[in-house]
Structure 1
Amino acid sequence: MKKKIKCFNSIKELIFNYKFFISKEIKIKGWVKHFRYNCFIIINDGSTINNLQIFIDQKFDSLVKKINIGISIEVIGVLVLSKGKEQNIEIYANKIKIIGKFAPEELQKTILQPKTHSFKKLREQAYLRFRTSIFSSIMRIRHNISFSIHKFFFQKNFIYINTPIITTYDSEGAGEMFRVTNFDLKKIPLNEKGELNNNLDFFGTSTYLTVSGQLQGEAAASGLGKIYTFGPTFRAEKSNTFRHLSEFWMIEPEMSFSKLVHNMNIAEKLLKYVIKFVINNSYEDLFFLEKKNKIKIFKRLNNVLESSFERISYTNAIKILKYSKNGEFLQSINWGEDLKSEHEKFLAENYFNNPIIIYNYPLKIKPFYMRINNDNKTVAAMDIIFPYIGEIIGGSQREERYNVLLKRILELNLNIKSLWWYLNIRRFGSVPQSGFGLGFERLIQYITNIDNIKDVIPFPRYPNHAYF
């Protein structure tokens, strides 16, 4: 009778269930991470930060010469408790099969060597960095953050929808969007005035990659009640800072029958839910990052869970800044001016030492769709600011009054031809509605304590960089 061998789908599964399979023959697959003392092969399959140690004896000497770092192998052997301190279990190999191919002469040109590389160096070979311990750890955390967001909204009875990536309007008013066209750039059609003839473009008008799914989300919420989107957004801003990407992901809920206070409550609950979920489900990866970066990640995350976000009006924020004793730059800001990152940093990190929600911003510095307050000077807007990372959520109660919204659009000289359908959401019946946008990568940055936003997304896109 043929001996039964237990095959595991992942090293994580094996580690979790190892007590049931001690002294039994098993089969596992993975990539070679490195060798130890010429008698151990260390493998990993990406399912966990933990590696699996394979003990090999002299009968594998000829085979070992063919194995390089990064090559994939299949191992059949007996699972035993390890005598070493670095792992609980290991496998005494009976059979080893090389699965993948590898070009040995290319080894020195990769980032797969068992040594520390800078994040900048890892970006140069972004297609390989998934195989490194630190980046695979970040990606597993990213996965759990994503899953927890969907789970939160599912439990709150939100409906998940997909909004267009191609749009005709800049909902943020930044004016820095990627143009989408199928024009032959060598034969661009012009009209009688010598201007670009957008009527001949694919959609019969000028189109762009979206900066937000909010406007379409509002249309969906006006019939479905509570919705959320989770998709890619784009900015053509030529900025190459640690906080900017040209392509990034946004979570954007929209809620009918909802005012600003409810909007702030949901946003705070979402962030705390995600952080708690990640602590519980990404403990090993967070512990690895904490140990590697020598920063108290768990303490910082638990502080968020244990405290209420400080809520402060824009007006009071300005007063705090003007009366602070932290330099002329902070004091020089006047009411009506937009807060800079340094102002937000001071308030969240130094003054409150806590996440904060700033609300009721001046009308003149916010987009047209935000509801005007009774003072006619401010709008029902809110931003959530986290220490060390800055703005992580921006949102507002939406202007549901048709005449007020129309007047605002005309005052700002916006393209009403592109917004006719948005106005009609109010024209055919409206309710108080609110929503916000959560920057997915910035949230990952905060949770993982990774400084550069380019290192928390699989394939970063930024000025002069669209490789891989």
Structure 2
Amino acid sequence: MHNKIKELLQFGTVGASVEIKGWIRTKRANKQVVFLTINDGSCQQSLQVVMAPSKLPKTLLNQLTTGASIAISGSLVASAGTRQSVELHGDQLTLLGNAPDYPLQPKSHSLEFLRTWVHLRFRTNTFGAVFRIRHAISYAIHHFFHERGFCYLHTPIITAADAEGAGELFRVTSLALNHTDGPVDFSKEFFNRPTNLTVSGQLAAEAAAMGLGAVYTFGPTFRAENSNTSRHLAEFWMVEPEVAFNNLDDNIALAEALLKFLLDYVLKKCPAELEFLNQRLLHNNAQSATPSMALLERLQFVLEQPFVRITYTEAISILMEAPPNQNGTFVYPITGWGMDLQSEHERYLVEHHFKRPIVVTDYPKDIKAFYMRQNDDGKTVAAMDVLFPGIGEIIGGSQREERIDYLKKAMQHSHIEDLNWYLDTRRFGTIPHSGFGLGLDRFVLFVTGMENIRDVIPFPRTPGHVAC
């Protein structure tokens, strides 16, 4: 059984005989010595291997190029370099797979270029760091909810409901795609009705919370929004807790606790990956006219600072008087109460006015989803959005409308039908309850300091692009 490079760098004993397997990152050779750096994906660092050219036939030596996979055995020695404590003096090397014309040579590549090789970019330092951090965050999410007695729920991916009422759905059909003869006969569909890929597991999670008390979903969701921005995907991952008997204040407290738990976890468990990405951001800042806060500094700041809480009405008042609104530099000018906040507005509030994460509550009911609880003023709902620097909205949630008459009116207003099962959860033992959705990909974007959401999901799906 071969050794993992991560284990050797942490616990390797000088003089031990080991075998490693991995991919060549770099090669340097002269008449006296061959230097290879090998990475096996187990950690951010690579292991330096030193071999005598006499142990490598010339034909084999020529095949030891970047991207080739090898197995190599030898003994650990103390490293003369400062980047690692040990290195491997190789005795025997076996080529597992050569890599002629490997496209990712050991030089700087743009992220745009790497998106054209999405199936190979896992082998780079940048994406190795990103996806190990994504793994750590995913694990920590389950850990957080498990410790607090939540039940992990698998909600349907194929559904007949549109939880958001936005209509931006991917349809699921078993009918021939060349059907053009008048209206679709849904009785011939597999499910005897129109269905789509889910935009949210929330409605199903609400039903489960009515019996299980506290549940969460964690899975893929889909939206057919033709948006080619750096913050949107057609397939993305959502974390959605629903909690019986929680009000809006409880919901906000849970959201802040989750976000800070995840930040604390990744800072402790991924120091090498975060330091690499921190240096990447510092390098970019040095070439930027508007440098941002260093990555590690930003994560620590958000972890330590209490979130500011304001109402939507207060946010609009601040934005109306904001210099970018007064001088016309907002792309979407704030003209008055009732407007939906755009990313530029959210980021202004977080990054310039309050200079810390904020929670905006009590939005106008006309710009929020039908299931949010109407406040006593008749104009607003018990909604909450958590806004982060560099991202804008990272969590959206609400106290849910538990009063069936209010819920029916909201559904009629939004032209939402055929959710009788959802109304049953209010007919039979209705209770106050709350929940929210955390976009995993946006949170990973914030934690890693990457600029585009396509670079924090393994295989991005966006308008016109579906690789692998």
Tell me if TM exceeds 0.5: yes
- What is the distance in 2 between the residues matched to 1:103 and 1:272? 43
8 Å CA contact 2:27, 2:65 repeated in 1 = no
Correspondent of 2:276 among 268, 288, 293: 288
Structure 2 counterpart of 1:315: 313
Q: Deviations over 1:367-395 (max 9, x none)?
A: 11000011111100000000111100000
Structure 1 counterpart of 2:110: 118
| Shift in Å, 1:8 | 4.6
Structure 1 counterpart of 2:196: 208
Q: Secondary structure at the match of 1:421?
A: helix
Structure 2 counterpart of 1:347: 349
Correspondent of 1:45 among 17, 40, 50: 40
Q: Secondary structure at the match of 2:466?
A: coil
Contiguous gaps of at least 5 residues in structure 1: 1-6
| Shift in Å, 1:402 | 1.2
Structure 1 counterpart of 2:410: 408
Structure 2 counterpart of 1:11: 5
Structure 2 counterpart of 1:279: 267
Q: Secondary structure at the match of 2:412?
A: helix
Structure 2 counterpart of 1:102: 98
Name the amino acid aligned to 1:175. Answer: G
| Shift in Å, 1:333 | 2.8
Q: Are 1:153 and 2:129 counterparts?
A: no
Q: Secondary structure at the match of 2:443?
A: helix
- What is the distance in 2 between the residues matched to 1:9 and 1:164? 40
Matches within 5 A, 1:70-219: 70-99=67-96, 101-104=97-100, 106-107=101-102, 110-111=103-104, 113-187=105-179, 194-219=182-207
- What is the distance in 1 between the residues matched to 2:146 and 2:158? 27
- What is the distance in 1 between the residues matched to 2:357 and 2:410? 32
The more displaced of 137-146 and 64-73 is: 64-73
Q: Secondary structure at the match of 1:327?
A: helix
Q: Are 1:262 and 2:254 counterparts?
A: no
- What is the distance in 2 between the residues matched to 1:59 and 1:402? 81
8 Å CA contact 2:165, 2:416 repeated in 1 = no
| Shift in Å, 1:236 | 0.4
TM-score normalised by L of structure 2: 0.93
Structure 1 counterpart of 2:290: none
8 Å CA contact 1:167, 1:208 repeated in 2 = yes
| Shift in Å, 1:332 | 3.2
Indicate the RMSD between aligned Cα atoms, in angstroms.
1.3
Q: Percent identity?
A: 48
- What is the distance in 1 between the residues matched to 2:371 and 2:70? 57
Q: Secondary structure at the match of 1:41?
A: strand
Name the amino acid aligned to 1:50. Answer: Q
| Shift in Å, 1:352 | 0.4
Q: Secondary structure at the match of 1:338?
A: coil
Name the amino acid aligned to 2:5. Answer: I
The more displaced of 399-408 and 307-316 is: 399-408
Q: Deviations over 1:307-334 (max 9, x none)?
A: 1000000011111112223333566331
| Shift in Å, 1:345 | 1.1
- What is the distance in 2 between the residues matched to 1:227 and 1:179? 27
- What is the distance in 2 between the residues matched to 1:404 and 1:96? 72
- What is the distance in 1 between the residues matched to 2:127 and 2:406? 49
Q: Deviations over 1:339-377 (max 9, x none)?
A: 111111110110001110000001111111000011111
Matches within 5 A, 1:379-458: 379-415=381-417, 417=418, 419-458=419-458
Correspondent of 1:338 among 334, 337, 340: 340
Structure 1 counterpart of 2:467: 467
- What is the distance in 1 between the residues matched to 2:185 and 2:98? 52
| Shift in Å, 1:441 | 0.4
- What is the distance in 1 between the residues matched to 2:325 and 2:414? 35
Contiguous gaps of at least 5 residues in structure 2: 286-293
The more displaced of 330-339 and 240-249 is: 330-339
- What is the distance in 2 between the residues matched to 1:266 and 1:337? 27
Q: Secondary structure at the match of 2:324?
A: coil
Q: Deviations over 1:177-236 (max 9, x none)?
A: 101001111245x5xxx3221221111010001000000000010000000000000010
TM-score normalised by L of structure 1: 0.93
- What is the distance in 2 between the residues matched to 1:402 and 1:76? 69
Correspondent of 2:378 among 368, 376, 379: 376
8 Å CA contact 1:8, 1:14 repeated in 2 = no
Matches within 5 A, 1:219-230: 219-230=207-218
- What is the distance in 1 between the residues matched to 2:28 and 2:80? 14
8 Å CA contact 1:11, 1:28 repeated in 2 = yes
Name the CA shift for 1:408/1:98 in 2 (closer, same or farther; >3 Å).
Answer: same
- What is the distance in 2 between the residues matched to 1:299 and 1:370? 36
Q: Deviations over 1:412-437 (max 9, x none)?
A: 3322x2x1100001111111100000
Name the CA shift for 1:299/1:459 in 2 (closer, same or farther; >3 Å).
Answer: same
